[in-house]
């Protein structure tokens, strides 16, 4: 069952939400990539339901059904997630963070340990205070946005990197940064049709959401403490990821107490996502 809606959070803003599962199943909050949207986990929704998992995707400000919120921080978005959970009467849940979304999944566990059962950070960027990870990022997609003198310039840099409405991501524009396993995934109609259906929601507000993501993470994880996380954490990454280097995963696993690093050979930035549900299930099994 797929339920698409907006939810009012405490300050009166609307947050776009897509709830893919049953209320009797274990809730999994999906923190999407950048750019991305609440629709991102749709391709896993049937498998999740079969595994007893309720996927809940939500739009960060500036994506999908959530209006931009200039100046937002990582904890600001965590507050949105908690507001959505409260509105849906979900007390405890797993968080999944994909790529840019990894910071939000981990920050929720750090800031609300009583709510989070476990975290899977998949193909995720790490704390950008770590020099080797920062230097491994794309100059046009990340560093040019981080280095912009103000928000307007950051949005312009993001548009230059992605094209208006993400146009540079279409028509083979991403082939140079895709691992072979990612290219194979893009050629699978079952996956690509779902991904294309998500595409317009990623750019509802142009590149504002993406620029605000970069402005939130550019200084590093200065507004939450990854070392305070107490739940089980799996850091999942494809060894062939050409968009977010595996150095990110190795650093995150070092700074999050007790985190397990899982690096999958032969998988890239997108193809690794097919392993997320099995890692979530494993987190929920004692001793798993």
pLDDT digits (tens, 9 = 90+) for 106-140: 999 999 999 999 999 999 999 999 999 999 999 99
Say if residue 16 is exposed, middle or buried (CB neighbours under 10 Å; 0-12, 13-18, 19+).
buried
CA distance 21 to 2: 7
Mean local confidence (pLDDT), 97-111? 98
Say if residue 131 is exposed, middle or buried (CB neighbours under 10 Å; 0-12, 13-18, 19+).
exposed
Query: What pLDDT sits at residue 170?
Result: 87
Query: What pLDDT sits at residue 25?
Result: 97
Query: What pLDDT sits at residue 1?
Result: 64
The DSSP element (H or E) to which 59 belongs, if any, is none
Q: What share of the chain is helix, strand, coil (3-state, %, to 5)?
A: 45, 20, 40
Would you say residue 286 has pLDDT above 80?
no
Topology at the third CATH level for domain 3-284: Rossmann fold (3.40.50)
Mean local confidence (pLDDT), 191-206? 92
Mean local confidence (pLDDT), 62-88? 98
CA distance 241 to 66: 29
The DSSP element (H or E) to which 125 belongs, if any, is none
Mean local confidence (pLDDT), 268-276? 97
pLDDT digits (tens, 9 = 90+) for 157-191: 999 999 999 999 987 788 888 999 999 998 888 88
Query: What pLDDT sits at residue 172?
Result: 79
Classify strands 93-98 and 26-31 as parallel, antiparallel or unpaired: parallel
Say if residue 76 is exposed, middle or buried (CB neighbours under 10 Å; 0-12, 13-18, 19+).
middle
- What DSSP string describes 21-50? S-TTSEEEEEE--SS--TTGGGGGHHHHHH
pLDDT digits (tens, 9 = 90+) for 1-15: 678 999 999 999 999
Question: With bands split at pLDDT 50, 70 and 90, how would you rate the model's confidence at 197?
Answer: confident
Give residues with Cβ within 8 angstroms of 134, minimum separation 6.
Answer: 128, 143
pLDDT digits (tens, 9 = 90+) for 26-53: 999 999 999 999 999 999 999 999 999 9
- E strand spans, the chain: 3-8, 14-19, 26-31, 53-58, 93-98, 116-122, 232-238, 260-264
Q: What residue ranges do the domains of the chain occupy? A: 3-284
Q: Minimum mean pLDDT among 74-83, 86-95, 194-203: which range?
A: 194-203
Question: What does pLDDT average to over the chain?
Answer: 96
Question: With bands split at pLDDT 50, 70 and 90, how would you rate the model's confidence at 287?
Answer: low
Query: What pLDDT sits at residue 231?
Result: 98
Q: Pick 238 or 170 by higher pLDDT.
A: 238
Query: What pLDDT sits at residue 288?
Result: 59
């Amino acid at each position: 069952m797929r339920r698409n809606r907006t939810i009012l959070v405490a300050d009166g803003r609307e947050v776009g939400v897509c709830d893919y599962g049953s209320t009797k199943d274990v809730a999994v909050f999906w923190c999407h990539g950048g750019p991305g949207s609440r629709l991102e986990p749709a391709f896993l929704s049937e498998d999740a339901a079969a595994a007893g998992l309720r996927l809940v995707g939500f739009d960060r400000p500036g994506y999908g059904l959530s209006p931009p919120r200039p100046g937002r921080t990582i904890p600001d978005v965590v507050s949105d997630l908690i507001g959505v959970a409260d509105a849906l009467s979900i007390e405890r849940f797993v968080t999944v963070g994909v790529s840019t979304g990894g910071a939000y999944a981990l920050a929720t566990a750090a800031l609300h340990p009583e709510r989070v059962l476990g975290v899977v950070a998949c193909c995720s960027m790490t704390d950008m205070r770590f020099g080797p990870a920062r230097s491994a990022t794309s100059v046009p997609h990340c560093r040019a946005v981080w280095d912009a003198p103000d928000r307007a310039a950051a949005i312009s840099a993001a548009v230059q990197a992605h094209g208006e409405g993400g146009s540079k991501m279409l028509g083979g524009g991403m082939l140079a940064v895709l691992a072979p396993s990612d290219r194979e995934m893009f050629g699978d109609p079952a996956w690509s049709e779902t991904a294309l259906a998500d595409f317009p929601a990623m750019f509802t507000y142009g590149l504002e959401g993406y620029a605000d993501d970069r402005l939130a993470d550019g200084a590093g994880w200065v507004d939450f403490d990854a070392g305070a996380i107490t739940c089980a954490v799996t850091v999942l990454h494809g060894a062939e990821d050409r968009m977010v280097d595996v150095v990110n995963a190795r650093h995150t696993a070092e700074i999050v107490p007790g985190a397990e690093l899982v690096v999958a050979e032969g998988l890239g930035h997108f193809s690794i996502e097919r392993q997320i549900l099995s890692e979530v299930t494993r987190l929920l099994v004692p001793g798993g």
